[in-house]
Amino acid sequence: MKKYFISVLIPYLLLQFSGCYNMQVITKDDFREDSDYLELSVKTKDKDISFDDGNYSVRNDTIFGTGLNKSRIDPEKTDEFFAGAISINDVEELRAYKFNLTGVIALAAFVVLTAVFIVLADPIGGFSIAN
């Protein structure tokens, strides 16, 4: 039973905690087509604004919402509350949480290979360094 927990349940627990979404750079065209992301980070010439899920909307190439603004001009400055609108034409970079299929496949393969190695390493039940 102990070997079952080590080889199956613990790797799947790690897979659950690792998540399938991560922050990725998206193009303005991709954003115009599908503006339904979990979280959004918008960088302009002087602002770096982070919007949480449900705190922004997009209408007519303009992002409306509330979030936190990190000043790009003065990095020592603390985060400020932002409420307003940003034109997509003024945006230098967009980042959003997106599903990462490649990362999920790589992580799942690693977990499976690790489990197989643990199960097949010593079928008698214990690792031994000395012969």
For position 85, what pLDDT does the model report?
92
The answer to whether residues 2 and 31 belong to one domain is no
For residues 62 and 7, membership in a common domain is answered with no
* Per-residue pLDDT band at 117 (split at 50, 70, 90): confident
Compute the average pLDDT of residues 26-39. 78
- d(CA 4, CA 11) in angstroms, rounded, equals 11
84 and 113 both lie in a single domain = no
Rounded to an integer, the average pLDDT of 91-100 is 83
| Res. 113 pLDDT band, cuts 50 70 90 | confident
C-alpha 95/C-alpha 41 separation (Å) is 5
Same domain (yes/no): 76, 106 = no
Write the DSSP assignment of the chain as a string of letters.
-HHHIIIIIHHHHHHHHH-SEEEEEE-HHHHHH----S-EEEE-SSEEEEE-TTSEEEETTEEEEEEEEEESS-TTSPPEEEEEEEEGGG-SEEEEEEE-HHHHHHHHHHHHHHHHHHHHH-TTTS--S--
Domain range enclosing 106 = 1-20+101-122
Low-confidence winner among 12-21, 73-82, 83-92, 97-106 (lowest mean pLDDT): 12-21
Both 106 and 94 in one domain: the answer is: no
Looking at the fold, whether 61 and 43 belong to one and the same domain comes out as yes
47 belongs to a structural domain: yes
- Higher-confidence residue of 107 and 112: namely 112
User: Do 14 and 50 belong to one domain?
Assistant: no
User: Facing residues of 58 across strands?
Assistant: 63
Look at the chain and report how many structural domains it folds into.
2
Q: Are residues 48 and 77 in the same domain?
A: yes
Token code pair at residue 79: 């985060």
Identify whether 131 is part of a domain: no
**For range 54-64, the mean pLDDT:** 87
* Residues 51 and 92 both lie in one domain: yes
Residue 127 covered by a domain: no
Pairing status of strand 80-87 against strand 93-99 = unpaired
Same domain, 88 and 32: yes
Residue 130 lies in a domain: no
Tell me if 41 is assigned to some domain: yes
